[in-house]
Amino acid sequence: MPDTATWDVLDRRAIDDLVGDGGAERVLGALMSDTPSPEDRARQMAALAVAGDVSGLKAETHAFQTWAEKHGLKRLGNMLVELDRVLALPARGQAILQAQALTRMIERTLDDDIKAFKRAVTSG
């Protein structure tokens, strides 16, 4: 059984469904071969936020959110929902500043989320 912190990060049912459909090895293999990798997506989103590219960041946010929900990465999904909300703010400058902070947080926490995901997949 995962620790409490893992429950905050992951949606165990989504992970169980993924593993049930393809097996742990296939799920981990798919994660390793994802293009772009989750880390590359996070870096790209941070770069878009720094550049102030709200429309590009919105598109990336939606795509990454779909990926995160499919993989049961609950904390990441919640941050992406918040990022989507921030990008809809009427004050563009405020939206960009908050988006920069959120994308930096996503970059910082993604590694831990992926490690928790891998542990959950292999623990069956």
7/77 Cα distance (integer angstroms): 14
Instruction: Quickly state the pLDDT bin for 38 (edges 50, 70, 90).
Output: very high
Q: Is the pLDDT of residue 78 over 80?
A: yes
Q: Give me the pLDDT at residue 113, please.
A: 94
Question: Is 5 inside a domain boundary?
Answer: no
**Helices vs strands, H then E, count in the chain:** 7, 0
Q: How many domains does the chain have?
A: 1
Residue 11, sorted as left (phi over 0), alpha (psi -120 to 50) or beta, turns out to be: beta
Question: Is 3 inside a domain boundary?
Answer: no
Question: Is 83 inside a domain boundary?
Answer: yes
**Mean pLDDT taken over the chain:** 91
Q: Give me the pLDDT at residue 1, please.
A: 47
Question: Is 4 inside a domain boundary?
Answer: no
Identify the domain containing residue 50 by its residue range. Answer: 10-123
pTM as predicted = 0.88
